[in-house]
Structure formats: structure tokens, C-alpha cells
Amino acid sequence: MTAKQFKFGLGILVVAVCVVMLVVTGLQETSLYYFTVAQLEAREAEFVGRKIKLAGKVVLGSIQRDDASLDLRFEIWEPGHGSTASANHKKLVHYKGIVPDTFRDESDVILEGITGKDGVFVADHLLAKCPSKYESKSYEDMKEMHGEEKKGIKS
């Protein structure tokens, strides 16, 4: 093997190692566990300090903001586990950053971050889902809104 072939082979090896490293680190960033509040509660000790995604609904009246430092604290709960935010299925969240316009009491949120040893979920990404007012109305609702019979619509 000549020196030129050795350098070429070494260059290919370095490029291959870099590509593998990029793929592995990229997969670690994008492949996060996705939990609801109750699911995380059941396995919390297992995921302390590990990055995960957490979904829930903001507890009414729990939002505390500090606009000067962009500090935000609130609680989330999981709908479907009781009609209100019971103490059993709530999670305290701390987030520092810009808050989406759709974030408010009782909005659905998806958070990305880690659970600390103190049980507080420290989020570094906050996504507030769009409200359901964008869902389409039924045909009967549309008829009520526009009168019983309009031109071209027959009941």
C-alpha cells in the first residue's frame, strides 16, 4: 500500500466515523419518550434527569409569570383522570423563555425537558396546542346559524 492510498483510506475512515457520530447524536436528540402526566408519575424515578416529552393540560389559576426574567411556573394535569385537576395527577413545571400566544389556563401543552430530583419538570421547549375553536361545525349547527332554509339548502 502506497502512502497516497493510506492517506485516502484514512480520510474515508475519518469521514465515515464523523457520519456515524452525527447519526447517533441526531437520533438521541429526536427519539424522546413521550408521556402523559399519569404515565410519568408511574415511572418517574426511572426518568429523573433524562430528557422526555410530557403532555398535559394547564391547571386553571396555576400560571405564575415573571415577565422581566421570562420565568414561568405552572402546573399541568391529565384530562381523563377525573373531571378536574386532582392532586394525584398534577405536575409542577418550570420554563424559562418566550411563551407562545396560545398558552393560557386550561390549554393543552407539550413540553420537552427533564424531571429534577425535586419532582419539578424543567422544560426547555413549550408548545401550546391550538384551541378547538378551529374544528369544523356540523351541518345542523350551520343550518341553525344561517336560518332554517337558505337558497340552495333544503332540509
Structural element, H or E, at residue 105: none
Tens digits of residue pLDDT in 7-22 = 899 999 999 999 998 8
Q: Where are the domains of the chain?
A: 32-131
C-alpha pair distances (Å), 81 with each of 38, 57, 77, 86, 105: 8, 12, 9, 8, 18
Per-residue model confidence (pLDDT) at position 17: 93
Per-residue model confidence (pLDDT) at position 128: 92
Sequence-separated (6 or more) residues with CB below 8 Å from residue 147: none
Per-residue model confidence (pLDDT) at position 11: 92
Count the neighbouring beta carbons within 10 Å of the beta carbon of residue 98: 9
Q: What is the C-alpha to C-alpha distance for residues 95 and 30, in angstroms, rounded to an integer?
A: 20
* pLDDT greater at residue 105 or residue 143: 105
CATH topology of domain 32-131: OB fold (Dihydrolipoamide Acetyltransferase, E2P) (2.40.50)
Nearest to 121 by CA among 101, 84, 91, 148: 91
Tens digits of residue pLDDT in 57-77 = 999 999 999 888 889 999 999
Q: Which 3 state secondary structure label does DSSP give 53?
A: strand
pTM of the model: 0.65
Per-residue model confidence (pLDDT) at position 126: 95
Q: What is the C-alpha to C-alpha distance for residues 76 and 82, in angstroms, rounded to an integer?
A: 14
Average pLDDT (21-38) is 80
